[in-house]
Chain A
């Protein structure tokens, strides 16, 4: 973890209520895809945790949806503004445990960290595939970005307005070694139940500090209580009590 100032260098709307921000600054503290940053925002006392979508040496990209006061404030930021971030929080996905053919299963905003994961897996010579679920065609983002990486990508929508009609579990492929899922809790539970393979899920919770001090985001696991912000957010399927 490192605290630092970052400059918003690019913002764009991706889908209904969904924004992408690229921030320039020191990313040395980011060591794995699936980690997150905790952002200080004017008008909010607590920082807001947002997962890192992807990053390079001197910039990181965040994708978020406006759902409340904090994300609304984030969406109002303008290029050139600086932000105070705690960067490189959480464990992230362990690439060495993802097998040769991992399946990335994303739901809604959960798609964001899986993009950085796909890039990292490809860089290791692995062959990821993706199933990305959204409510409707207006919610879809990063479909082209995943395809541009060469990742075999299936889109699902609940209302059938694009891709396969239904949930991500209606479109899971036959063959993969390990799944990596990020999305709403019911989706991740359904994926864990449907997938015969080992897998990893990235959990979400309201957080106080984001770095393991306050015990605000604890969850119970087979190995005792864990802090989602510090011991997670990524947990192996077999650790979870569901």
Chain B
């Protein structure tokens, strides 16, 4: 019997597979299809202080081996998330949940995190300083080490739960930003968010997305994720949640070898709603195929020897 258990900041996960924020809603749509308690945990839809409709449509575009989205952090706001979404989610998912938080100011992040931190079922806070689809916030915090550190400090000062900072790949030195977060007290790093991208419509000769730009996700970005997880693993000592185009158990193992303790699955859920369940089911067989008894033994394995 192989062991798929991993641990994120003292909380045990049955397996390292986590649907990533924005691709899994609050879990209910998937709970209609399969028992989502097979997941390691789930990271719910990015939550902000105020309700947000998000960007105008079209918000979605296809791409070779991936997709662009410019949803723009649509969510009902932290108060309704706590009052309505979390109780519903609790009815279908019984493990500690990862709360994903977006913001437009340092105070926004701190306020939303402080409120979610009080919720019993929330195990971790994942702070998104990397959304490429909102203006005057999001990614602007994740592209400077100083700003990233400031958000980290502000959130850590008002919360008790482990804080994972979710980083943008749209930077020249990902390691510097990860180090700044670690220095400011982050408990872990999540990466990568989507890559800033654009598609044009040849008929209209205009961008496909109403927001003009969007975030590229899907298998196309997987090698970028491997590279950045690898670089961040060298730079910090805190755990890493790796993501970006993961769509198979092999991808999970590859990202763990690069340095991830757990792995999120994003765009794959939209194409195959059973993607996470299928990856979890395949994991023991693929581990055996590569002679892995315990997933913990391979975390960062690519860096040794």
Chain B residues whose CB sits within 8 angstroms of the CB of A214 once the complex forms = 22-23, 25, 60, 69, 71, 270
Decide yes or no: A45 and B60 within 8 Å by CB, A215-B71, A216-B71 being known contacts.
no
Does B50 have its Cβ within 8 Å of any Cβ on chain A?
no
Q: Is the CB of B71 within 8 A of A3?
A: no
Q: How far is the CA of A86 from the CA of B273 in the complex (A)?
A: 9
Chain A to chain B contacts (Cβ below 8 Å), 30 pairs: A1-B32, A45-B65, A45-B66, A45-B67, A45-B218, A45-B271, A70-B62, A206-B57, A206-B61, A207-B60, A208-B59, A208-B67, A208-B69, A213-B23, A213-B24, A213-B270, A214-B71, A215-B22, A215-B25, A215-B45, A215-B74, A216-B60, A216-B71, A217-B57, A217-B60, A218-B71, A218-B74, A219-B57, A220-B53, A225-B53
B11 at the interface (CB under 8 A from A): no
Taking a contact as CB atoms under 8 Å apart, the answer to whether A211 and B273 are in contact is yes
Size range of the chain A interface in the assembly: 20 to 34
Q: Which residues of B contact A218 (CB under 8 A)?
A: 53-54, 57, 59, 71, 74
In the complex, what's the smallest C-beta–C-beta distance from B99 to chain A, in angstroms?
17
Which of A45, A205, A209 sits near B62, CB closer than 8 Å?
A: A45
Q: Would A206 and B59 count as touching, CB distance under 8 A?
A: yes
Given the known interface contacts A213-B269, A216-B69, the answer about A45 and B64 at a Cβ–Cβ threshold of 8 Å is yes
Q: B63 near A: Cβ within 8 Å?
A: yes
Residue A69 at the chain B interface, CB threshold 8 Å = yes
- Which chain B positions have C-beta within 8 A of A44? 62
Q: Dominant SS at the B interface?
A: loop
CB < 8 Å A-B pair total: 93
One digit per residue, 1 when the CB lies within 8 angstroms of any chain B CB and 0 when it does not, for chain A 185-229 equals 000000000000000000001111101111111111000010000
- Shortest beta-carbon distance from B281 to chain A in Å: 15
A29 to B28: give the CA distance in the assembly, Å: 18
Q: Which residues of A contact B267 (CB under 8 A)?
A: 45
Q: How far is the CA of A219 from the CA of B45 in the complex (A)?
A: 18
Cβ distance B129 to chain A, nearest Cβ, rounded Å? 20
When chains A and B are docked, how far (Å) is the Cα of A146 from the Cα of B301? 65
Chain B residues in 8 Å Cβ range of A69: 62
Rounded to whole Å, the gap between the CB of A218 and the closest CB of chain B is: 6
Contact between A213 and B29, CB atoms less than 8 A apart: yes
**Across the interface, which residues of B come within 8 angstroms of A45, CB to CB?**
62-67, 218-219, 267, 271
Q: Which 3 A-B pairs have CB atoms at the shortest separation, nearest pair first?
A: A209-B270, A216-B60, A206-B58
Nearest Cβ distance between residue A202 and chain B, in whole angstroms? 16
Interface residues of B in 253-305 (CB under 8 A from A): 267, 269-274
Contact with A along B1-39 (1 / 0, CB 8 A): 000000000000000000000111100011011000000
A109-133 CB contacts (< 8 Å) to partner B: none
Contact status B29-A230, CB under 8 Å: yes
| A211: chain B residues within 8 A (beta carbon) | 29, 273
How many Å lie between the Cα of A109 and that of B64 in the bound state? Answer: 27
Contacts of B33 in A (CB 8 A): 1, 3
Question: A115 vs B244: C-alpha distance in the bound complex, in angstroms?
Answer: 42
Q: Which residues of B contact A70 (CB under 8 A)?
A: 62
Specify which chain B residues have a CB less than 8 angstroms from the CB of A220 in the assembled complex.
53
Distance in angstroms between the alpha carbons of A77 and B274 in the assembled complex: 25
**What are the residues of chain B within 8 A of A46 when measuring CB–CB?**
60, 62, 67, 270-271
How many whole Å from A33's CB to the nearest CB in chain B?
22
Q: Is the pair B71, A205 in contact by a Cβ cutoff of 8 Å?
A: no
For A65, what are the chain B residues with a Cβ–Cβ distance below 8 Å? none
Decide: A213 near B30, CB < 8 A? Known: A205-B58, A206-B61: yes
CB < 8 Å neighbour of B271 from A40, A215, A216, A230: A40
Chain B residues, Cβ within 8 Å of A3: 33, 272-274
Which residues from chain A contact B74 at a C-beta distance below 8 Å?
215, 218, 225
CA of A209 to CA of B74, assembled, Å: 15
Closest chain B CB from A148 CB (angstroms): 36
List of B residues within 8 angstroms of A213 by Cβ: 23-25, 29-30, 269-270, 273
CA distance A179 to B58 in the complex (A): 27
Q: Given contacts A3-B272, A209-B269, A218-B57, could you give 6 more A-B pairs where the C-beta distance is less than 8 Å? A: A45-B63, A208-B69, A209-B270, A212-B29, A213-B270, A225-B53
The distance from the CB of B198 to the nearest CB of chain A, in whole angstroms, is 15
Closest chain-A Cβ to B240's Cβ sits at a distance in Å of 25
Residues of A within 8 A of B270 (CB): 46, 208-209, 213-214
Residues of B within 8 A of A208 (CB): 59-60, 67, 69, 270
Q: Does A47 contact B (CB under 8 A)?
A: yes
B residues in contact with A212, CB < 8 Å: 25, 29
Bound form: Cα–Cα A170–B271 in Å: 41
Inter-chain CA distance A46–B65, complex, in Å, is 9
Which of chain A's residues has its CB closest to B62's CB?
Answer: A46
Nearest CB of chain B from residue A37's CB, rounded to whole Å: 14
Complex Cα distance, B115 from A27, in Å, reads: 45
Cβ contact within 8 Å between B271 and A47: yes
The residue in chain B whose Cβ has the minimal distance to the Cβ of A229 is B29
Contacts of B63 in A (CB 8 A): 45
Contact with B along A78-102 (1 / 0, CB 8 A): 0000000010000000000000000
